[in-house]
Amino acid sequence: MKNLRLALLLAVVAVFYGCTTLNRVNPTDPQAGNYIGMHYLGAIGDFTKLEDFNVMGDAVWCVDSVTNNVYKYSTSGDLIFSFTGGGITAPTGICSDNTFFYVADKDTVYRNIKRFDPAYVSNTAQVQLPNYSSTYNFIKCAASPLYLYAATSTAVYIFDTTANSLTAASPYVFTNISDIKYNPGTNEVVVADSGSNSILIFTPVLTNPPALTYQRQLVFTEGIIGFGIKDSYIYVPTVTGIHQYYYNTGVAVKTFANFGEGSGKISAPGPCGIYGNNVLVGTGTTIKYFGP
């Protein structure tokens, strides 16, 4: 009888052990109780050296500084087309004003920003800003409806896109600009300086000539390259994931893309963009896509 009881006890223990229900406890799992709110959805593109990208409508425009190509991808990840030439040499930045897109590159002949109409895109730029050879090495750009903000590694210049003229330079001196964006919600120009690991926020003063007035800055302890702005939040990819902050105060909200094993992790800073409620981060060879 002792043996029988022992066997029954062991059987019951084994059954209970085996019957432990599985709970969804992964913080990146949207169906888990402890879901962090954002998770990896996939990747867009396959690049040799992705320098920058810009979301315009339902398309993601990307530039590769090795293949010297401009790529247009759908937000679902399909390559729509790509082109090279048109005077583009080693492109390093791309931006749009929702009408045109602009490419900054390391062209050492004209040293200008090239404008393309996405509806009639070809390998020939429609407009070059400025339309003469400049002495600046533009690497990044941001566009508002009336102005184009073109950045070298240490300064930001303002173009009047209507007059196609270089109107002003920001008096602020940067260490090493890695990204620049225009925030239409607040009418501010935001500059990432990877040299000082800070994001600086300026207000354009549209006097004649227009200029940028410094407002505030967010300083990081980790290296940064790009950022994305969505409503009242700013997203910054670093070696420890994507950090979400309040845009106005710089107070941290949460961090995601920093968990577990697999592709859904960001372990280096890179260019960043927003599409709807989704955050896109460039890793050099692809764009990782995160959403709620």
Partner 1 sequence: MGNIFFKISLTVSLILPASLVCAADVDFNLPHTVINAQTRNGGITTNQSVQALAESQTAPGDAGLSKTEQYFRYGEKLFKARDYLNALKYFYAVTKADPKNVKAWKQTAFCYYKLNKHNYAYNAFKTVLKYNSSDKDALEFMDYYKTIIDKNTKAKVIRQPIDSIWRSAVLPGFGQIYNNQIAKGLVVGSAFIVAVGLTLYDVSDEKIKYEKYKKANENQDIAFKQAQDSWTLALVWGIIAGGVYAAGIVDAGLSYNCDEVRSAGILIKDNAVYLAAGYRW
* Binding-site ranges for partner 1 (CB under 8 A): 1, 3-4, 7-8, 11, 14-15, 17-19, 22, 24-26, 28-32, 39-40, 257, 259-265
Minimum gap (Å) between residue 89 Cβ and partner 1: 36
Whole-number Å distance between alpha carbons of 21 and 79 = 43
Nearer CB in complex with partner 1: 23/221: 23
DSSP 3-57: HHHHHHHHHHHHHHHHTPPP----TT-TTSTT--S-EEEEEE---SSEEEEEEET
* Nearer residue to partner 1 within complex by CB, 76 or 263: 263
Residue 5 identity: R
30 or 57: CB nearest partner 1: 30
Nearest CB to partner 1, comparing residues 22 and 109: 22
- CB of 1 or CB of 109, closer to partner 1: 1
Tell the smallest beta-carbon distance from residue 250 to partner 1 (Å).
27
Joined tokens for residue 9: 């006890």
Minimum CB distance to partner 1, residue 241 (Å): 10
Enclosing H/E stretch for 2: helix 2-18
Report in angstroms how near the CB of residue 292 gets to partner 1 at its nearest: 14
Tokens of 221: 């302890």
CB of 32 to partner 1, least distance (A): 8
Euclidean distance between CA atoms 289 and 40, whole angstroms: 6
